Structures are given as C-alpha cells and as structure tokens.
Structure 1
C-alpha cells in the first residue's frame, strides 16, 4: 500500500484502488478536510468532462451511422499487457487504465455527435478517424513506461499529462470546473528548452479536452493558459497550470 495515503485521492476518485486501499483511504477521509475537498473537485471535474458534447441528433443520424458502421473495417482489439504471475498492477497502471476508460467515454461522445455538423458523405471518414484516435490513446496509456503527472488549475479543475517515451507521444487531459468567461478559451502549450509551443486551443464554452501530442516526452513541461478566443501565438501570463515533466 502507498505509504502516503493522501496520494490515493486521484485513484479513489476514478475508482482505481483495490479493496485494502479503499478501506484505508475511506478511514483517512473521515479526518482529512483537504482530501475531502479535493475528492469533491475531482468528481465534479470528471462529471463535467462530457459538457458541450451532448446534443439531440437529427432523425437521419441513427440510420446513417449504422450504415457507416456496416461498411467500416473495425480495428482489431488491443491485447492487454499481462503482469507476471504473483504480481498485481501498480497504482500508476490502474490509474492509467481508469483514465483510458474516461478518455474513451469522452472521445466516443464527441466523435459520434460531431457528425451532425458535417455532410453525410463525411460520416464514414469521421468514424474511421475516431476509431484510430481512440486506439492510439489506449496504446499510449497502456505503455509499460507510462509516466502520469497532474496539476490543479488556478481557475478550478485539473490537468493530467500521461507520456510514454516508447511511443514518443503523450496525452493531455484537461478537466476544468467551468469554461472561461465569454470571449476567452483554454489553450494548451508544451515547453521545450524554455520555449512554449501551442498544441491547441479549446472552443469557446469548452471546459474539457483529450489531446494527443507527438514528441511530448521531449518537453520539459505542459502549460495551460486562458487566452482571448480563438487562441494566441504566445502564452499569456500567468499560467493557469504548469505540469513539470522533467
């Protein structure tokens, strides 16, 4: 069991603890105001991840999506890594697995309902792109060398960064407690050699995103800022969060 019971709050919020850790953390939770407050924030952030992705689909959507699925080559299932006999997955790997489930749920909702904004002829391409993106996120989060770090947002919420040198890529998961004020957006940055580089700005009203970033393990940090829409060429100080990778 992790000797620092405070560090179990993230895994507990994602239901990624075993029975012994759950019992120990729940006993600790009775007497720790900080952990209770952080647990509430994490659960609220997770609940807000689908915000902005749900809409009532048009009547033709169901038939067109089913038609696309019938003619789309499905990707083969990814074989999970099997730990040696007599061992159990580490907390880090359980947390990554829980994050993968959460990412898949968010990504699937976004991909399916984004079809509403495109012509029917693009639905097939969108379905394939969503499958490929989901498969890649799962592959990165299942990497044996995965490193997961996170940081609170000053504005409320959390940003989690998972990186793998074997894949030379990483995943940035932003879950803010709310969108910035009107006319402003969240923007993600990687920092290499002290120089920030934008890896994407969210849309107005958007408070959550899952972003794959190639070459992420070569960066020293990941920053989050609030910028004037639709985004900036350089980050506005102060940063809303900075996740140090080295």
Structure 2
C-alpha cells in the first residue's frame, strides 16, 4: 500500500473522498486484509462516538422535578414561633432533584472515561496496523467463520479478530490463546453466546501461534483440544 493511498483511510471512513479516490481505495481494500481490518475498526469507533443515547436520567424527569419544586408554596415561620422543618413534600422533591443531578453527573463521568478509553484503543490499533512489518494471517474456525491475526514484531503487538459463525452452546465459550515457548497463554475469554471479538495483545514477544479453543463458561487455564482454530505466525 503506498503512503498516498494509506492517507485516505480516515477520509474514506468519513465518506470525504471523491469518486476517483473511492474507486481506487475500494480496489485496494479487495487486496489488503490489513486495511480492511483498519477500516472496520475505525467505522466501529466512529459509530460508537457518534451515539447520542447516553444513559442519563431523561430531561423530562428532571424538568418535572424542578417544576414541582417551583410550584410548592414556601412556608415562612412565624417570627415568634420555633424554627420548623420544610414541608415533607418539599424535602422529598429537593432530595429527588439532588439525586437526578448527581446521577446525571456520575453517568456522564463514566461515559467520558469510556470514550477516552475507546480513543486510546483506536490509536493503539492505528499504530499497530501502520507498522512496516505488519503481517496478516487468516484461518477458518470449526463450524464456520474465521480468525484473523495481524502481528508486528517491531511494535511487539498483535490484534486477534474472531468472527465465528455460531456460538459453542451448552454453557461453553470461545477462549483466545497465544503459544509462547511451546506453552499456551490465555489472551481473553468471550461470554456465553458471543461469536465475535477483537483483542489487542501487547508484548507479543516470541509467540509462534494463536489458538481459539472452546471452554466452559469463564475459561480454562489450559486449552481444550482439539482447537476450534489455529494460526501460525
């Protein structure tokens, strides 16, 4: 892939290329698994960052609480009377308003951390996929599907992408492994029913193979044979 074509990846994902550039990049994608993987990852990240369905209390809830507070008559104490507590309804509404505001702020903070983590993940993937020594390996998964491994020794990292056609079933899950010095090292376990994942493995070191096994829910310390997929690096 030439540097000029590679520089089009971001614009291509954002649909900011002209017809000639799009045709040239489409033609290149058919021949370059690494670029297809990068385009898929960037599209996924863009879609997540564009989502506006934040998990915060709906504006209508906060509005109704504040309106109710405004409509509640404030009762001032008589000059000579002992100090009185605010009406119970006012205290309840004030507490509810505080909960709404606090919950919204907390959820926003969590979502902000998730967005930053996603940015970091995408940057790590871009760094890996731009490595000059990047190699991409594909192998079939038993039962249908593929596992793709893009590895760079200079970046000392790899990305494992599993796209299985079906879930193992019967309370079993897929688990990813690297083989280092002839010993299996667990690299991630899917949850029940999951068939796809993309796992960045830092410190790939002298790993010689990547494997996908089918294990009991929660994973195992050693892979169950035979493997569902095996990729030699």
TM-score (norm. length: structure 2): 0.61
Alignment check: 8 A CA contact 2:209 2:230 kept: yes
By relative contact order (CA 8 Å, sep 6+), the higher-ranking structure is 1
Shift of 1:109: 5.2
Aligned residues: 160
Shift of 1:222: 0.2
Alignment check: 8 A CA contact 1:16 1:95 kept: no
The alignment status of 1:211 with 2:199, answered yes or no, reads yes
Shift of 1:105: 3.0
Shift of 1:214: 1.0
Equivalent of residue 169 in structure 2, options 178, 181, 196? 181
Query: Residue 101 of structure 1 aligns with which residue?
Result: 39
Equivalent of residue 237 in structure 1, options 225, 228, 233? 225
CA distance in 1 between partners of 2:137 and 2:202 (Å): 17
Deviations 1:53-77 (A, max 9, x none): xxxxxxxxxxxxxxxxxxxxxxxxx
Alignment check: 8 A CA contact 1:202 1:209 kept: yes
Q: 1:212 to 1:155 in 2, by over 3 A?
A: same
Query: Residue 5 of structure 1 aligns with which residue?
Result: none
Shift of 1:159: 0.2
Q: 1:217 to 1:16 in 2, by over 3 A?
A: farther
Query: Residue 27 of structure 2 aligns with which residue?
Result: 18
1:1-246 aligned at under 5 Å gives the runs 18=27, 91=31, 94-107=32-45, 119-245=107-233
Query: Residue 13 of structure 2 aligns with which residue?
Result: none
CA distance in 1 between partners of 2:52 and 2:192 (Å): 18
Secondary structure, aligned partner of 1:227? strand
Q: 1:126 to 1:228 in 2, by over 3 A?
A: same
CA distance in 2 between partners of 1:114 and 1:188 (Å): 32
Deviations 1:71-130 (A, max 9, x none): xxxxxxxxxxxxxxxxxxxx4xx3211110112334555686997599332111110000
Unmatched tracts of structure 1, length 5 or more:
1-14, 23-90
